[in-house]
Chain A
Amino acid sequence: MSNKVTIRRLATGVPGLDDLLGGGLPEYSFNLIAGTPGSGKTTLAHQIMFSLANPDRRALFFTVLGESPLKMLRYQQQFPFFDVAKVNQSIKFVNLAADLLDGNLDRVLARITEEVQNFSPSLVFVDSFRSVVQSSKAVPGDVSDLQHFVQQLGMQMTGWQATTFLIGEYLAPEAESSPVFTIADGILWLSQHLHRDSMVRKMQVVKMRGQAQSPGMHTFRISDGGIEIFPRTLLPPGNIGKLTIAGDQRLSTGVPALDEMMGGGVPIAYSLLSVGPSGSGKSILATQFLAEGVRQGEPGVIAAFEKSPNQLLSHQLNELIESGKVGLIDTRALDLSIDETLHNLVQMINGMKAKRVVIDSLSGFELALAPVFRENFRESLYRMIAVLTGLGVTVLMTAELEDRYTDLRFSSYGNAFLADAIIVQRYVEIDGQFRRVISVVKIRASAHSKDIRFFDITADTITIGERLTHYQGILSGDASSTLKS
């Protein structure tokens, strides 16, 4: 039997944050929310506060110099989480400017303690802590004062059973050696990353005592609804190995002859890459793949980057989406992160219990990402495919490839190795005609046809034709009949 202390974890109410923190906010912890101006510190603090505060768990929000409290109230009210009914009931705002003017930290501490005693909050916020620090720097010999102040504050707030947040403006974790960093139980670092013209927000849990936080930088977005974090989904360790996929379980692509070429269809939870030049029927194959799923009672999800959702996709795809059996991921924004897309995908897959996912296309996807993410597109894509196939869904990705007749490539990014199976479509010139041919290049751990076969596209369907037995030089694009020669 264990008599060890159990730390209660509070659900912050900020989408994604609890995962980042390693399961929620430890009760009575002393935390720092740090970041550059405009990185969303106050918004994050408010969102946590309004979500957690109730008559039994009251919150005290101290405003110090920094941002004018009038403006803070004015702007924060724009977020839906700002519940005016909680103000003065569960939440109290207190301005400390007057107590700080002479830079006397003892007075500030006394005032904070007094307010905490009177209101007995379970949550205490100090915004911004940086102004407390700067103001005290006017007083000589203040380093120990400040250390003393932070230590006292941390100790007293824990003593008063309050979970505390200091909000401070700092530039980078490495550049700072403030005593608050040592004393804090948790540090949340918010930053803005500019790359070319686009800005991406990231959050890092630098430290979180007592629990395993999710390491590294995670993207987040501040929208009209507030902050939403998209944790870099690493495969949950428990999941690995649990999901065993029998190689003999196959999904039909919706094109019987193609299934046959693949040795009976796509193995479940495989990632299938369909490569070919523009107009070679990749999107049509993808639609057939989804339609076949719907026919067999397997819902699907498509992230369509090639066409805007407003434009008519194909008529067939439109019908599938309207019927609700295929989910469409919104891909309008051009500052997406892979994590956000993956987050949306996983949410929709779980919601719809989807079995099939289409990403059309990888090149469009790359363009839709914020430039800063394009640099490690391959790495992120690898992670994304691992997560999706880890969920047991079968993924069909399309990749545009300009026809080059001198080299045989399956993807312009060298992404081909990421896929478990590859289908190549291309044009060849035969008898003064552009003909389409298709071939299965690779299926991991499975036998498949080595044939190159003609195919035609008629009314949204792919029809596979005969084998190009009597031709040679097909891959050079200039096929000639071996019969005539």
Chain B
Amino acid sequence: MAKTDTPRHQIIRRCVLQRPDAIASVSISLWERLASELVAIIGQGGFDSLYSRSLHLAVVTFPWLAAGYPSQQAGSRFAGLQTSLEGRDFTEASEASIALLITFIDILVTLIGESLTTSILRAAWGDDALDIAVKDSDNE
């Protein structure tokens, strides 16, 4: 999905891979934090439509993600995604999770721009997550 490896994509990759033994729970935590920040701004409906679109695109490469569509029950928006990720090995789960997040963030960037998206990511994941990733990628 991610054809070009932009700094933004590297940040996402790093965030997902921060604990290789817990890809699923780390991913869900990233999603939860992003959702709580974004829903406050663009509303539940806005978030859900972007999320569904991203899943739809990611399913092309990872058909097993299809089970991850949000369920109707409140509070378990990412339960399906968690189950899907937990059922896969490290490589598959991490690649799919990274691809899904990258797709989502890229769509967000096309809609509201790089700087506003970065500012939202910062608020959601914390300055550390973003700054360390940028610093590391500079050193590489």
Tell me, in angstroms, the Cα distance from A74 to B43 when the chains sit together: 15
* Stretch among A21-29, A93-101, A392-400 lining the B interface: A93-101
Cross-chain contact B43 with A63 (CB below 8 angstroms): yes
Interface residues on A, range: 10 to 19
Tell me, in angstroms, the Cα distance from A95 to B122 when the chains sit together: 19
Name the interface residues of A36-67: CB closer than 8 Å to any CB of B.
63
Is B75 in the interface zone, CB < 8 Å from A? no
Given A68-B46, A87-B119, the answer on whether A77 and B112 have CB atoms closer than 8 Å is: yes
Q: A84 to chain B: which residues have CB within 8 Å? A: 113, 115-116, 119
Name the interface residues of A68-119: CB closer than 8 Å to any CB of B.
68-71, 73-74, 77, 84-85, 87-88, 93-95, 97-98
Cross-chain contact A94 with B42 (CB below 8 angstroms): no
Q: B123 to chain A: which residues have CB within 8 Å? A: 88
Cross-chain contact B116 with A69 (CB below 8 angstroms): no
Q: B46 to chain A: which residues have CB within 8 Å? A: 68-70, 95
Closest CB of chain B to A250's CB: distance in Å? Answer: 60
Cross-chain contact B116 with A87 (CB below 8 angstroms): yes
Name the interface residues of A407-453: CB closer than 8 Å to any CB of B.
none
Q: A70 to chain B: which residues have CB within 8 Å? A: 42, 46, 50, 111-112
Given A88-B123, A95-B39, the answer on whether A73 and B44 have CB atoms closer than 8 Å is: no
Name the interface residues of B43-70: CB closer than 8 Å to any CB of A.
43-46, 50
Tell me, in angstroms, the Cα distance from A74 to B112 when the chains sit together: 5
Q: Determine the residue in chain A with the shortest Cβ distance to B123.
A: A88
Q: Which of B42, B115, B119 contacts A69 (CB 8 A)?
A: B42
Q: Which of A77, A88, A98 contacts B120 (CB 8 A)?
A: A88
Q: Determine the residue in chain A with the shortest Cβ distance to B44.
A: A98
Cross-chain contact B42 with A68 (CB below 8 angstroms): yes
Given A77-B112, A84-B113, the answer on whether A97 and B119 have CB atoms closer than 8 Å is: no
Cross-chain contact A77 with B43 (CB below 8 angstroms): no
Q: A88 to chain B: which residues have CB within 8 Å? A: 119-120, 122-123
Q: A74 to chain B: which residues have CB within 8 Å? A: 111-113
Is B41 in the interface zone, CB < 8 Å from A? yes
Closest CB of chain A to B111's CB: distance in Å? Answer: 5
Cross-chain contact B115 with A95 (CB below 8 angstroms): no
Closest CB of chain B to A348's CB: distance in Å? Answer: 36
Tell me, in angstroms, the Cα distance from A40 to B31 when the chains sit together: 35
Given A88-B120, A95-B46, the answer on whether A69 and B41 have CB atoms closer than 8 Å is: yes
Q: Determine the residue in chain B with the shortest Cβ distance to A94.
A: B40
Name the interface residues of B91-140: CB closer than 8 Å to any CB of A.
111-113, 115-116, 119-120, 122-123
Cross-chain contact B41 with A93 (CB below 8 angstroms): yes
Cross-chain contact A77 with B113 (CB below 8 angstroms): yes
Closest CB of chain B to A44's CB: distance in Å? Answer: 21
Tell me, in angstroms, the Cα distance from A87 to B119 when the chains sit together: 8
Tell me, in angstroms, the Cα distance from A94 to B122 when the chains sit together: 17
Tell me, in angstroms, the Cα distance from A63 to B40 when the chains sit together: 10
Closest CB of chain A to B16's CB: distance in Å? Answer: 23
Q: B44 to chain A: which residues have CB within 8 Å? A: 95, 97-98
Cross-chain contact A95 with B119 (CB below 8 angstroms): no
Q: A94 to chain B: which residues have CB within 8 Å? A: 40-41
Closest CB of chain B to A125's CB: distance in Å? Answer: 14
Closest CB of chain A to B106's CB: distance in Å? Answer: 14
Closest CB of chain B to A170's CB: distance in Å? Answer: 23
Point out which of A71, A77, A84, A93 has the most chain B C-beta atoms below 10 A from its C-beta. Answer: A84
Tell me, in angstroms, the Cα distance from A93 to B120 when the chains sit together: 11
Cross-chain contact B43 with A97 (CB below 8 angstroms): yes
**Which 8 pairs from chain A and chain B are nearest by CB?**
A95-B43, A84-B115, A97-B43, A93-B41, A69-B42, A73-B112, A70-B42, A70-B46
Please give 15 more A-B residue pairs, beta carbons under 8 A apart, in addition to A71-B111, A88-B123: A69-B41, A69-B42, A69-B43, A74-B111, A77-B112, A84-B119, A85-B119, A87-B116, A88-B120, A93-B40, A93-B41, A94-B40, A95-B40, A95-B42, A97-B43
* 30 A/B residue pairs, CB under 8 Å, sorted by A: A68-B42, A68-B43, A69-B41, A69-B42, A69-B43, A69-B46, A70-B42, A70-B111, A71-B111, A74-B112, A74-B113, A77-B112, A77-B113, A84-B113, A84-B116, A84-B119, A85-B119, A87-B116, A87-B119, A88-B120, A94-B40, A95-B39, A95-B40, A95-B41, A95-B44, A97-B43, A97-B44, A97-B45, A98-B43, A98-B44
